[in-house]
Amino acid sequence: MLVSFFAQMIIYLSIFTRVPSYKSPDKRRKKTGVSVIICARNEAENLEKNLPKFLSQDYPDYEVIVVNDCSTDHTEEVLMDLKALHPHFRYTTIQKDNKFTHGKKLAITVGIKAAKNDYLLFSDADCYPESNNWITKLSRHFSKEKEIILGVGKYERKKGLLNILVRYETLFTAMLYLSFALKGKAYMGVGRNMAYKKEVFYRHKGFASHLKLLSGDDDLFVNEATNRSNTTVEIDPDSFTISEAPQNFSEWFKQKKRHLSTGKYYKRSSKLRLGFEFSSRMLYYITLIWMLFRDQWMWIALGTWILLSIVRLVLVKLNMNRLKERDLLLPSLLLDPLLPLILVTIQISNFIRPREAKWN
């Protein structure tokens, strides 16, 4: 218990302090052209609602490209109407081929090849930018050295226990991938808010190394293409994207099942770092519960829990403030030990039924 306790303390004090202490550089980069790429399949309603917010960005030189990937709803009509109103908007349609099936990676590749600019920003049809400065904030980090920018994708805050679970898991994931990126050890990004140079995509032959997988267009690509110096983060609130949270547990379960299916393909160093955090947390709670029922160790166990909880609450609160989250602090006391159990259950489900459930 003491070993896992100190491991958790080291993680919180050396890793999770990085986002709260990070100061975004005041970049004055010339606003060169950027291309925003969004892939959609049967997302007519979301496109109608969210796409205008991407098309009304306060940025002098940009285009928005939507790849309509085999949609069977009225996506085409929505895109045609928006095209008539916005000259900087383009779209292309992939027709369904009964002899050939494909995932989202083909749609992204089509969008990248269609892009006029070298700086590429990515999001999803079910997202919208927090402000009209999204492009400005996310693209300001591009330089000769910085090729990959990791942004923050949040979920709408609503009532209900599921919403708290979804937002806390998203917050904790963001704390992990942003903190490790700031430490020079980036391992993933979220496809609903990230950016990279076109040359990075071609240098790594696109998604060739994991093309057989439906998922991984964001995290596996970053895991492969990142190094200590070419990746940075953007955590200004104006740079956030917002998505509608899953409506039921089954929907969220399938979503996490798809996301977690790619973890085994990460670099070994990434798996070791994530495994260390995950296993030390599980080990701590297992041994804590065991020792609480041993009279001679109960007070030591309780003391470690109080101390770790204070440190955790302070740092979770600081991260929440930086990432503009609310109402997750007290639930974190319960969700911190429960979340690993939920994720283990999802991973077991992946082993039993490994098939990925959805295109995006």
Residue 201 sits in the same domain as residue 73? yes
Instruction: Calculate the average pLDDT of the chain.
Output: 93
pLDDT tens digits, one per residue of 127-154: 999 999 999 999 999 999 999 999 999 9
Look at residue 114 and tell me if it is in a domain: yes
Look at residue 345 and tell me if it is in a domain: yes
Residue 186 sits in the same domain as residue 308? no
Q: Residue 122 — very low, low, confident or very high, per pLDDT cuts 50/70/90?
A: very high
Answer whether 226's CB lies under 8 Å from 183's CB: no
Look at residue 219 and tell me if it is in a domain: yes
Q: Which percentage of the chain shows pLDDT scores above 90?
A: 82
Q: Which domain holds residue 51?
A: 30-247
Separation between Cα atoms, residue 69 and residue 37, nearest integer Å:
13
Look at residue 211 and tell me if it is in a domain: yes
| Per-residue buried b or exposed e for 16-55, using 16+ beta carbons within 10 Å of the residue's own CB | bbbbbebeeeeeeeeeeebbbbbbbbbbbebbbebbebbb
Residue 205 sits in the same domain as residue 275? no
Residue 7 sits in the same domain as residue 41? no
Residue 195 sits in the same domain as residue 285? no
Look at residue 169 and tell me if it is in a domain: yes
Residue that terminates a domain, selected from 202, 217, 247:
247
Instruction: Please state the domain count of the chain.
Output: 2
Residue 240 sits in the same domain as residue 177? yes
Separation between Cα atoms, residue 121 and residue 147, nearest integer Å:
12
Token digits of residue 303: 């003391």
Residue 117 sits in the same domain as residue 188? yes
| Per-residue buried b or exposed e for 207-229, using 16+ beta carbons within 10 Å of the residue's own CB | beebeebbbbbbbbbbbbbbeee
Which pLDDT value is given to residue 100? 73
Residue that terminates a domain, selected from 186, 218, 247:
247
Residue 195 sits in the same domain as residue 314? no
Which pLDDT value is given to residue 53? 97
Asked if pLDDT for residue 47 goes beyond 80, the answer is: yes
Residue that terminates a domain, selected from 214, 247, 280:
247
Average pLDDT over residues 171-200: 97
Look at residue 357 and tell me if it is in a domain: no
Which pLDDT value is given to residue 328? 97
Which pLDDT value is given to residue 27? 63
Look at residue 210 and tell me if it is in a domain: yes
Look at residue 120 and tell me if it is in a domain: yes
pLDDT tens digits, one per residue of 149-175: 999 999 999 999 999 999 999 999 999
